Chain A
Amino acid sequence: MATALETVQEYTGHEYKYGFYTDIEAEYAPKGLDEGIIRFISAKKQEPAWLTEWRLDAYRRFQAMEQPDWQKPEVGIIDLQAISYYAAPVQKEKPKSLDEIDPEIRRTYEKLGIPIEEQKLLSGVAVDYVFDSVSVATTFKEKLKELGIVFCSISEAVQEHPELVRKYLGSVVPQGDNYFAALNSAVFTDGSFVYVPKGVRCPMELSTYFRINAAGTGQFERTLIIADEGSYVSYLEGCTAPQRDEHQLHAAVVELVTLDDAEIKYSTVQNWYPGDHEGRGGVYNFVTKRGLCRGKRSKISWTQVETGSAITWKYPSCVLQGDDSIGEFYSVAVTNNKQQADTGTKMTHIGKNTRSRIVSKGISAGRGDQTYRGLVRVLKSAEGARNHTQCDSMLIGDQCGAHTVPYIEVKNPSAKVEHEATTSKISEDQLFYCRARGVSEEDAVALVVNGFCREVMDELPMEFAVEARKLLGISLEGSVG
């Protein structure tokens, strides 16, 4: 009879389902990074002069920085000159309607299970499709427009809503914030833009689906979401990439801004190619995500299910500036085979009576290794701030690792900060109990792990929770993922 460990090893044979490559005519920038490339990208996108300058400013800051090395996963110095910073499917003209999209691209998304046709989509979800460096389609635009909601690619927003982009771009993650954010600010090519006007509750989930297709490129997208006073929006991003032997760099920046009484719920289901059993290939997911609760009583909630990538290195964070604002972070991270993750969050309490809640569930299998790294900072001004952090790790097998590194900085004596952490191994008893009731060993692993993650899964929008549960099962098949 197989033990849980053997099962896990057996399942490591699982193949990455989205590893195919679409053969499509693409336009590349020459490899390498210099001011010329940045001007090239900016010109390609017909950007206004201020934005070109903004990029160049970021590039100058970037040049003065070095790749950080404080994280647990060993990254090595990434040769940024070996990357092409712009790859875009050749389109004669921008498609005027969804029907005009290149059939190859259309087929790609169909294979990924997210067809570019409104009627075929999950009801109530509008999607922006980002293919390599550019957005290729956005659905339900017209319907959203009626409510005054802007949902488009950021390139389009630069052209059509320059005042909003100029006001908020870099207002949460400044150009010089960190090495990868500075790089992104210099070379970002596309991403999504959302603006929800005052008092509007966005009636559908907004979603972006990122796909890295071309070889030798990185994806540097930029997402900016602004929820004006009293508005609400729920946003989901999903991602996949073809299976390749070299590592691919994904260095995105996501900025969220909520004004008074507004709420943004941001969910991620990340399924980048994780590399093979020996750690060859796979995406480096180095992303800066930060939300600013600028307004009073505003709320930002991050939910992430991270199953892919060779290395995940990110800390979706909240800056709680407005009084009584709320920040939440719910995370499930799975590492299998030789995947590594160093993830967590930062909650910065500035306003009075600000509250934050962190629930992190890490599952390590195979030779996976992961670290929860979190910072809870209560500034002097944050009278009555409260935080509750819960970090649970589950180990499957005996070759994986889990680490918890919480940092807590409190400058206001009225603050209450709580931290709980547990580490457990998936138990043979639990698996046997399920099997004795007729559930196969692989389903038993998925069942127990889903139970372990339930608090986080419950936070996902309904439409995606089912998918995410399946994905967890599959990831655990492949290295318990």
Chain B
Amino acid sequence: MLKIENLHAEIEDVDEGEILKGLDLEVRPGEVHAIMGPNGSGKSTLAYILAGRDGYEVTEGSVTFEGEDLLEMEPEERAAAGLFLAFQYPIEIPGVANMYFLRTALNAIKKARGEPEVDAASFMRLLRAQAEIVGVRPDLLKREVNFGFSGGEKKRNEILQMAVLQPKLAILDETDSGLDIDALRTVADGVNQLRSPERGIVVITHYQRLLDYIVPDHVHVLVSGQIIRSGGKELAIELEEKGYADVLARAGVSLPEGALHAAG
């Protein structure tokens, strides 16, 4: 469903050179891919480019989503096509009730697909059911979008949005960052509930520990804008045991000093 070929990208108006340097990735329905890598390897850049954020320039390569040129689409068109990005840092929208926001989003997507909109009552039923599944307390639904949420609440709220919008492809950008072990488990449970043969999931993470709970089919190591190694779930364990240094050395890649430390 998602096919990335030889993707090169840089940040607009900044002379820092390429962040992504020829990245290839293919995700098929039902697969869970984990992309791991040290800080500055281009993980978040990849997530943002896929979701269509401003400020990045693709200089080479292509991305197709279900056969369509993803890079030509506006962010809202990507959402309507079934792509979802769980943000690493969810954004606060003061004054807008969480459930109103989510209903607006769901109906915007339905409208774009030519489907009938959901009325308030049916939406509430749907929302309550999903909130229970992903472990979101009802009071969170009435609060303002991410406003005054704890780190864990924000991440859980992202998973709730995903559960309501039911995307074909979900990209989770460092969903584990800033979570304690209990929160991590709830979030992972939420994601696992959404695993299905039709849905693709890309988990971007720094640490292996999330992958104890969301077990991936494929693991990729992203370093300096390229995937230097791919494998099954055992690759994540190898990374955890031996660290990035060993994997990198075997791939013949050296990193600037400090990057590995940050990679933990």
> Do A and B come from the same complex?
yes
- Which of A428, A437, A452, A455 touches B54 (beta carbons < 8 Å)? A428
Give the chain B neighbours of A452 by CB distance below 8 A: 94-95
- Which of A429, A436, A443 touches B75 (beta carbons < 8 Å)? A436
Q: How many residues of B contact A (CB 8 A)?
A: 32
Contact B93 A434 (CB under 8 A): yes
Inter-chain CA distance A207–B165, complex, in Å, is 41
The answer to whether residues A447 and B93 also contact, given A437-B161, A437-B165 and a CB cut-off of 8 A, is yes
- Closest CB of chain A to B11's CB: distance in Å? 14
Inter-chain CA distance A448–B106, complex, in Å, is 17
Contact A439 B54 (CB under 8 A): no
The answer to whether residues A430 and B91 also contact, given A436-B75, A451-B96 and a CB cut-off of 8 A, is yes
Contact B54 A440 (CB under 8 A): no
The answer to whether residues A440 and B94 also contact, given A1-B52, A3-B54, A447-B104 and a CB cut-off of 8 A, is no
Q: Which residue, B54, B93, B106, B112, has most C-beta atoms of chain A within 10 A? A: B93
The answer to whether residues A451 and B76 also contact, given A1-B52, A1-B54, A437-B105 and a CB cut-off of 8 A, is no
Q: Which residue, A3, A435, A453, has most C-beta atoms of chain B within 10 A? A: A435
> Is B20 positioned at the interface, with any CB of A under 8 Å from its CB?
no
> Is B127 positioned at the interface, with any CB of A under 8 Å from its CB?
no
Contact B87 A438 (CB under 8 A): no
Contact B108 A448 (CB under 8 A): no
Give the chain A neighbours of B108 by CB distance below 8 A: 437-440, 443
Residues 87-119 of B, flagged 1 when their CB comes within 8 A of A and 0 if not, give 100111111100001101110110010000000
Contact A438 B112 (CB under 8 A): yes
Contact A433 B87 (CB under 8 A): yes
Closest to B106 in A: A438
> Is A178 positioned at the interface, with any CB of B under 8 Å from its CB?
no
Inter-chain CA distance A427–B144, complex, in Å, is 17
Closest to A3 in B: B54
> Is A454 positioned at the interface, with any CB of B under 8 Å from its CB?
yes
Q: How many residues of A contact B (CB 8 A)?
A: 25
Q: Which residue, B75, B145, B165, has most C-beta atoms of chain A within 10 A? A: B75
> Is A450 positioned at the interface, with any CB of B under 8 Å from its CB?
yes
Contact B76 A454 (CB under 8 A): no
- Closest CB of chain B to A434's CB: distance in Å? 7
Give the chain B neighbours of A439 by CB distance below 8 A: 76, 104-105, 108
> Is B74 positioned at the interface, with any CB of A under 8 Å from its CB?
yes
> Is B172 positioned at the interface, with any CB of A under 8 Å from its CB?
no
Contact B96 A448 (CB under 8 A): yes
- Closest CB of chain A to B4's CB: distance in Å? 18
Give the chain A neighbours of B105 by CB distance below 8 A: 434, 437-439
> Is A441 positioned at the interface, with any CB of B under 8 Å from its CB?
yes
- Closest CB of chain B to A15's CB: distance in Å? 24
- Which of B76, B91, B106, B161 touches A440 (beta carbons < 8 Å)? B76
Give the chain B neighbours of A453 by CB distance below 8 A: 95
Closest to B110 in A: A438
Which B residues between 147 and 206 are near A, CB-CB below 8 angstroms?
161, 165
- Closest CB of chain B to A398's CB: distance in Å? 16
- Which of B78, B91, B96, B161 touches A447 (beta carbons < 8 Å)? B96
Inter-chain CA distance A396–B51, complex, in Å, is 24
Residues 7-19 of A, flagged 1 when their CB comes within 8 A of B and 0 if not, give 0000000000000
Which A residues between 383 and 442 are near B, CB-CB below 8 angstroms?
427-430, 432-441
Inter-chain CA distance A457–B142, complex, in Å, is 17
Inter-chain CA distance A439–B85, complex, in Å, is 14
Inter-chain CA distance A418–B167, complex, in Å, is 47
Contact B104 A435 (CB under 8 A): no
Residues 368-392 of A, flagged 1 when their CB comes within 8 A of B and 0 if not, give 0000000000000000000000000
Give the chain A neighbours of B36 by CB distance below 8 A: none
> Is B250 positioned at the interface, with any CB of A under 8 Å from its CB?
no
Give the chain B neighbours of A451 by CB distance below 8 A: 93-96, 144-145
Give the chain A neighbours of B210 by CB distance below 8 A: none
Closest to A451 in B: B95
Inter-chain CA distance A434–B108, complex, in Å, is 10
Contact B104 A430 (CB under 8 A): no
Q: Which residue, A433, A439, A454, has most C-beta atoms of chain B within 10 A? A: A433
Give the chain A neighbours of B104 by CB distance below 8 A: 439, 443, 447
- Closest CB of chain B to A478's CB: distance in Å? 21
Give the chain B neighbours of A455 by CB distance below 8 A: 95
Residues 210-252 of A, flagged 1 when their CB comes within 8 A of B and 0 if not, give 0000000000000000000000000000000000000000000
The answer to whether residues A450 and B95 also contact, given A436-B51, A436-B52 and a CB cut-off of 8 A, is yes
> Is B34 positioned at the interface, with any CB of A under 8 Å from its CB?
no
- Closest CB of chain B to A379's CB: distance in Å? 35
Contact A435 B79 (CB under 8 A): yes
Closest to B48 in A: A432
Contact A438 B165 (CB under 8 A): yes
The answer to whether residues A433 and B91 also contact, given A428-B54, A439-B105, A447-B104 and a CB cut-off of 8 A, is yes
Give the chain A neighbours of B78 by CB distance below 8 A: 436
Residues 94-110 of A, flagged 1 when their CB comes within 8 A of B and 0 if not, give 00000000000000000
Give the chain A neighbours of B165 by CB distance below 8 A: 437-438
Closest to A1 in B: B54
Q: Which residue, B94, B102, B161, has most C-beta atoms of chain A within 10 A? A: B94
- Which of B51, B84, B93 touches A448 (beta carbons < 8 Å)? B93
A residues with a Cβ closer than 8 A to B are: 1, 3, 427-430, 432-441, 443, 447-448, 450-455
Besides A432-B91, A440-B108, 11 other CB < 8 A contacts?
A3-B54, A433-B91, A435-B52, A436-B75, A436-B79, A437-B101, A438-B106, A438-B108, A438-B112, A451-B93, A451-B144
B residues with a Cβ closer than 8 A to A are: 51-54, 74-76, 78-80, 84-85, 87, 90-96, 101-102, 104-106, 108-109, 112, 144-145, 161, 165
In the complex, the 6 A-B pairs of residues with the closest C-beta atoms, listed nearest first: A451-B95, A438-B79, A451-B96, A454-B95, A437-B105, A435-B75
Can you list 6 A-B pairs, Cβ within 8 angstroms, ordered by A? A1-B54, A432-B54, A434-B93, A435-B76, A438-B105, A439-B104
